Structure 1
Amino acid sequence: MRKIAATYVFPGTTSPIKNGILVCDDEGTIIDILDRGNSFHEEAGVEFYSGILAPGFVNAHCHIEFSHLHSKIEKHVGFSGFLEKINQLRNEPAEKEKAMQIADRKMWAAGIAAVGDVSNTGLSLSMKLKSKNYYHTFVEAFGFHPSRADRAFSKAEEVLESFKKAKLSASIVPHSPYSVSHELFQKVLKNAQRNGGPFTIHNQENKAETEFFLSGQGDISMHFSDNLKLDTSHWKPTGKSSLQSILEYLPKENQLLLVHNTQTKKEDIKALKQHCSLVNTFFVLCPNSNLFIENELPPVNLFRDEKLYICLGTDSMASNSELSILQEMLTIQQNFATISLEELILWSCINGAKALNIDDSFGSFDKGKKPGVNLITGIDFKTMKLTPKAKVKRLI
């Protein structure tokens, strides 16, 4: 049994405890949290740290298959430029398995305990089998032209089956509103309704996506026709935002993770509320990736005002310098000063666990859970803010 004390313990679902003591077994299962009040006296067998204890982070959106693309794409190329580079580089010869293993180990060392990972193939399967992290794999289907729907869905089913055979959690999901035809959307939706599991989609990631749905023009249209040489003659713009245009294809019962959301407006949230309950809807923010690609951030304060569930992701090494939830927290704090540390930890831990439907094991220091234990240092305790020197060390 271990007793671990710190300046503050952040349980994840209740208020921070000053000078709290976390009691857990040697395997990391939480036994109890002891509240010693405002004073702390040395006790035999208690490890004490200056800093805060928090549950293991949940990275709600990652593309570990792109780990070999680290430093291969320049910043601020814009979304269409980024898509073009991904398509050029994703199949280049590289030690992809090794790159994924390194990224996985670094996530573990950076305090991440669980990951919602988007995959197009089974390439990451063997790495995930050996990982200390929990993974839910979102098997991504995409196919813009209706004629590709059957083939695209069959491919996703094959990848899903490989993960299921390995007894790894996985579900089939669409890539984005603009890259999935109505026919493919219907297949993915029926599968989600039949089999359950978390459901995610890249949502309102850039202005080009909005323009494509409003007018059928812009960078995405050019990317399809010029870079991918796709026939776009079947496409009919809806005159509405991308989210409002695809609401009928979003399952109402599954956990729904909407990722990026940089262009989401109040009217989009209103339309979403009319379609489904927001109790199982999560807005996943990947701020460092957004800044990397288009130097833009989502309207975080709007989401807070609307009392939405927010969680954090890192996206991929193609659009980020590292897969670190702490760095995402620092970026949000730097740009949205009114957000408290307690709120950031809520987003980073229990909200992500709820989104992936693993909050029975992860996300908080509730008795019986085995969420991982992080020590975060570099805290200004007067303001209860992270400082630029903030670091995370995994204790369990």
Structure 2
Amino acid sequence: MRKIAATYVFPGTASPIKNGNLVCDDAGTIIDILDRGDSFREEAGVEFYSGILVPGFVNAHCHLEFSHLHNKIEKHNGFSGFLEQINRLRDEPADKEKAMQIADRKMWAAGIAAVGDVSNSELSLSVKQKSKNYYHTFVEVFGFHPSRAERAFTKAVEVVESFENAKLSASLGPHSPYSVSQELFEKVKNYAEQKGGLFCIHNQESTAETEFFLSGSGDILTHFRDNLKLETTHWKPSGKSSLQSILQYLPKENQLLLVHNTHTKISDIEALKQDRDLANTYFVLCPNSNLYIQNELPPVDLLRNEDLQICLGTDSLASNTELSILKEMLTIQQNFPDVSLEELISWSGFNGAKALNITDTFGSFEEGKKPGVNLITGIDFKTMKLTTNAKVKRLI
């Protein structure tokens, strides 16, 4: 048994406990949380740390398959430039498995306990089987031209089944509004409705995506036509935002993760509210990736004002310098100072666990759970803010 105390314990689902004391068994299962309050005194057998204890982080959006592209993609090159470089470099010779193993171990060391990971193949399967992290794999399907719908769908289902046969959690979802034909969207939606489970899609990541749906022009059209050499004459713009254009393809009963949301507006949120219950809808933010690619940030204040469920992701090492949820928290705090530390911690853990349907184990300090225990140091306790010196150390 371990007794771990700190200046504050943030349970993840309740108010911070000053001089809290976490009692865990040797396997890391929470046995009790003790509130010592101002009467705290040193006790034999209690580990005390100056800092805060928080549950293991949940990285709600990652692309482990792109780990070999670390430091290979130019920063601030715009969304179309990023797409072009990914397409050109993703299949270059590299020890991809080793790169994924290193990224996985670094995530664990950085306090991440669970990951929602996007995959296009079985490439990451063996790494996930051996990992200390929990993974849910979102198998991603592409197919802009209708002629590719059947082939792309069949292949993606085979990948889902490979993960499931390996006893790994997995589900099928579309890559983005602009990269999936109506025919393919229908197939994916029908499959998801029949199987239930999680449904994830990249959402409103760039101005190019908006332009593609409003007018049928811009950088995404150029990328499809000139870089990928795709036939684009079938494309007819909807005249609406990308999210509003695909609402009919988002299964209402499935838990939905909308990723990035960099250009989501109030009109999109209102349309979502009219179409589905937002109790099963999660907005995953990857701010450092947005800065890396386009030097933009998501509308955090808008999402907070609308009381939406926010969680955090790192995206991939192709679009981030490191896979660190703490770094994402720091970026949000620096750019949106009204966000409290308690909010950031709930986004980093419990909300992500809710989004991945794993709150029975992860996301909060509650009896019987085994969420992992992180110590964050470098806290300004007067303002209850992270400082630029904030660091995370995994204790369990």
Instruction: Please name the residue that 1:238 is paired with.
Output: 238
One-letter code of the match for 1:185?
Answer: F
**How far apart are the structure 2 equivalents of 1:280 and 1:370?**
24
Q: What SS does the corresponding residue of 1:58 show, helix, strand or coil?
A: strand
What are the superposed Cα offsets for residues 220-257 of structure 1, whole Å, 9 maximum, x if unpaired? 00000011111111100000000000000111111110
**How far apart are the structure 1 equivalents of 2:76 and 2:108?**
28
Instruction: Please name the residue that 1:362 is paired with.
Output: 362
Instruction: Please name the residue that 2:195 is paired with.
Output: 195
Deviation at 1:48, TM superposition (A): 0.4
Instruction: Please name the residue that 2:34 is paired with.
Output: 34
Instruction: Please name the residue that 2:215 is paired with.
Output: 215
Deviation at 1:38, TM superposition (A): 1.9
Instruction: Please name the residue that 1:55 is paired with.
Output: 55
Deviation at 1:160, TM superposition (A): 0.8
The Cα RMSD (Å) is 0.5
**How far apart are the structure 2 equivalents of 1:206 and 1:213?**
12
**How far apart are the structure 2 equivalents of 1:151 and 1:248?**
22
**How far apart are the structure 2 equivalents of 1:19 and 1:204?**
42
User: Matches of residues 314-329 of structure 1 in structure 2 within 5 Å?
Assistant: 314-329=314-329
Corresponding pairs, count: 396
One-letter code of the match for 1:356?
Answer: L
1:164 and 2:164 equivalent?
yes
What are the superposed Cα offsets for residues 9-68 of structure 1, whole Å, 9 maximum, x if unpaired? 000000000000001100000111000112310111111000000000000000000000
One-letter code of the match for 2:217?
Answer: Q
What are the superposed Cα offsets for residues 273-317 of structure 1, whole Å, 9 maximum, x if unpaired? 011001010000000000000000011000000000000000000
**How far apart are the structure 2 equivalents of 1:349 and 1:335?**
20
What are the superposed Cα offsets for residues 356-391 of structure 1, whole Å, 9 maximum, x if unpaired? 010111000011110000000000000000000000
One-letter code of the match for 1:78?
Answer: G
User: Matches of residues 118-197 of structure 1 in structure 2 within 5 Å?
Assistant: 118-197=118-197
**How far apart are the structure 2 equivalents of 1:113 and 1:39?**
32
**How far apart are the structure 1 equivalents of 2:145 and 2:38?**
63
One-letter code of the match for 1:315?
Answer: D
Q: Percent identity?
A: 81
Instruction: Please name the residue that 2:263 is paired with.
Output: 263
Instruction: Please name the residue that 1:390 is paired with.
Output: 390
Deviation at 1:136, TM superposition (A): 0.1
Instruction: Please name the residue that 1:254 is paired with.
Output: 254
Unaligned runs of 5+ in 1: none
Runs of 4 or more off by more than 2 Å in structure 1? none
**How far apart are the structure 1 equivalents of 2:321 and 2:37?**
40
Deviation at 1:198, TM superposition (A): 1.0
Instruction: Please name the residue that 2:19 is paired with.
Output: 19
**How far apart are the structure 2 equivalents of 1:59 and 1:349?**
8
One-letter code of the match for 2:348?
Answer: S
TM-score (norm 2): 1.00
Q: What SS does the corresponding residue of 1:171 show, helix, strand or coil?
A: strand
**How far apart are the structure 2 equivalents of 1:117 and 1:348?**
15
**How far apart are the structure 2 equivalents of 1:77 and 1:289?**
12
What are the superposed Cα offsets for residues 112-157 of structure 1, whole Å, 9 maximum, x if unpaired? 0000000000000000000000000000001000000000001101
What are the superposed Cα offsets for residues 187-227 of structure 1, whole Å, 9 maximum, x if unpaired? 11111111111110000000000000000000000000011
Q: What SS does the corresponding residue of 1:225 show, helix, strand or coil?
A: helix
Instruction: Please name the residue that 1:66 is paired with.
Output: 66
Instruction: Please name the residue that 1:350 is paired with.
Output: 350
Q: What SS does the corresponding residue of 2:126 show, helix, strand or coil?
A: helix
Instruction: Please name the residue that 1:3 is paired with.
Output: 3
One-letter code of the match for 2:368?
Answer: G
Unaligned runs of 5+ in 2: none
